[in-house]
Amino acid sequence: MTTFQDREKGEEARFAHDAELRFKAEVRRNKLLGFWAAELMGLTELAGRQAYAEEVIASDFVEAGDEDVFRKISADLKAKGVAVDEAAIRRKMAELVPVAREQVLAEG
């Protein structure tokens, strides 16, 4: 019985660890996406880019999934007169997922 309980605890710990990594990678992806969009909008100061990236991160807590982040980026780019289509934003979001995951894993 102890072996089963140990295995169960190990699985629970692994699940929690994987969930934490997914969360950190998602936050990192949003940060990278924010930097990308800030650059497109012409934000040249590091402080401005960082502040915008924080806004993008915060926007992800509006609802489950990525649509809240997509809407923020899309609306902000349009408001600044930057012509980026929906597909390009979604493509960038997808491209940044493995990059963010690698960065989070490298940090330990």
Domain ranges of the chain: 2-107
Q: What is the mean pLDDT of residues 68-81?
A: 96
What average pLDDT score do residues 38-47 get? 93
Distance in angstroms (rounded) separating the CA atoms of residues 102 and 91: 18
- Taking all residues of the chain, what is their mean pLDDT, rounded to a whole number? 90
Rounded distance between C-alpha atoms, residue 79 and residue 28, angstroms: 24
State mean pLDDT over 91-107.
95
User: Beta-carbon neighbour count of residue 18 at 10 Å?
Assistant: 10
Q: Alpha-carbon distance 106 to 108, whole Å?
A: 5
The pLDDT value given to residue 71: 95
- pTM, two decimals, is 0.85
Q: Given this structure, which CATH class describes domain 2-107? A: mainly alpha
